[in-house]
Amino acid sequence: MTNRLTITRPDDWHLHLRDGAMLAAVLPESARHFARALVMPNLVPPVVTGADARAYRERILAALPEGTGFTPLMTLYLTETTDPGDVAAAAAEELIAAVKLYPAGATTNSDSGVRDFDRVRGVLERMAEIGLPLCVHGEVTDEDVDIFDREAVFIERVLEPLRRATPGLRVVMEHVTTREGIEYVRSAPRDLAATLTTHHLVINRNHILAGGIRPHYYCLPVAKRESHRLALCEAATSGDPRFFLGTDSAPHADARKLAPCGCAGCFTAPDTMAILAHVFEEEGALDRLEGFTSRHGAAFYGLPENSERITLEKGEPVPAGGMLETGEGPVTIFDPGFPLAWRVVE
């Protein structure tokens, strides 16, 4: 039985750091274990230009604890007025690593997202030319589509036509939650990949709704049936390089999570590696954890693997979850529903 595991220091390919007091509180939780993170641009106002990304990156770097080795990889928020030249210039400067597509209204702070995809055609074509990835929040927002079907319908109505119309565009389907999403990635050429979150590997929709509403399990895309969770686990632990970690760790102060119209998001950053070690051990795939967390994403984004290593040890299980105090109020740390035996020790 393996009780100690040393792997290449991991990356997080989908992370929300927020801004201001929240940024200062949550950033150390990711920087503690992760070498790099792809930082989401859905602030208010959003990060839409190269200048916005540069300023946000400076705020992140200023908030890092002294001596921390952590690199924020910036993204731009795609709008219908995004300038292809600005995107290309930011990419050439290595200021950004990707552009993020939010269908308007799909999730937190997505009101500036895309409604008419013809209006972003020029940006997407320029991205295909320069090899800059497009990260997509893969859900439609049509009122006639059930919330549990939004991902599958997005693939059919939006993503497949978009990819056909833009040959060579490299796409990451972020936080995939369905068997259909997994199958679509596997059916496509290698210019399509997907991130999987920590929380979607351990919860299904019963965790949100059965026995009472549990707001701290509410996220978007919403967790689906158990059969879908099992498909996600199989993909994550398969060793397939098209699947890699993007935590979508999304902190909200409890006052906002527990409101009559509560915010979507699970704050998983503090315990992600411990939870993943549990999941991969349960699947008999601890030897594939390093690929999922530390290799596959770097390869897709064309970056070198990290030179540093981290070590996890398995010991006596301890309760998960807890609270992080921030300048905006307490934030509840995601509880996977089981105690954590694995922990990062060095």
From first to last of the 346 residues of the chain, give the pLDDT tens digit: 689 999 999 999 999 999 999 999 999 999 999 999 999 999 999 999 999 999 999 999 999 999 899 999 999 999 999 999 999 999 999 999 999 999 876 666 566 778 888 899 999 999 999 999 999 999 998 889 999 999 999 999 999 999 999 999 999 999 999 999 999 999 998 899 999 999 999 999 999 999 999 999 999 999 999 999 999 999 999 999 999 999 999 999 999 999 999 999 999 999 999 999 999 999 999 999 999 999 999 999 999 999 999 999 999 999 999 999 999 999 999 999 999 999 999 8
Among candidate residues 11, 86, 240, 248, the one labeled active-site is 248
Cis peptide before 339 (omega within 30 of 0): no
Strand, coil or helix: 342: strand
Cβ-contact 265, 307 below 8 angstroms: no
Residue 240: active-site member:
no
Check residue 293 and report its DSSP letter. I
Q: What is the pLDDT of residue 115?
A: 85
In sequence order, what DSSP letters do the residues of 93-154 get, joined into one string? TT-EEEEEE-BTTSSTT-TTSBS-GGGGHHHHHHHHHHT--EEEE-----TTS-GGGHHHHH
Q: What is the pLDDT of residue 105?
A: 65
Q: What is the pLDDT of residue 81?
A: 94
Element (H, E) at 207: helix 205-209
Our measurement of the distance from residue 268's CA atom to the centroid of its chain's CA atoms, rounded to an integer in Å, reads 11
Write phi, then psi, for 130 (nearest 5 degrees).
-100, 0
Terminus-to-terminus CA distance in the chain, angstroms?
20
Q: What is the pLDDT of residue 254?
A: 98
Q: How many Å apart are CA 229 and CA 226, to the nearest integer?
A: 5
Our measurement of the distance from residue 331's CA atom to the centroid of its chain's CA atoms, rounded to an integer in Å, reads 18
Cβ-contact 239, 204 below 8 angstroms: no
Regarding the domain delimited by 4-344, which CATH topology (the fold level of the hierarchy) does it fall under? TIM Barrel (3.20.20)
Joined together, the tokens standing for residue 265 give: 């998001």
Domains of the chain, residue spans = 4-344
Q: What is the pLDDT of residue 113?
A: 79
Q: What is the pLDDT of residue 111?
A: 64
Smallest CA-to-CA distance from 146 within 197, 217, 221 is with: 221
Cβ-contact 86, 121 below 8 angstroms: no
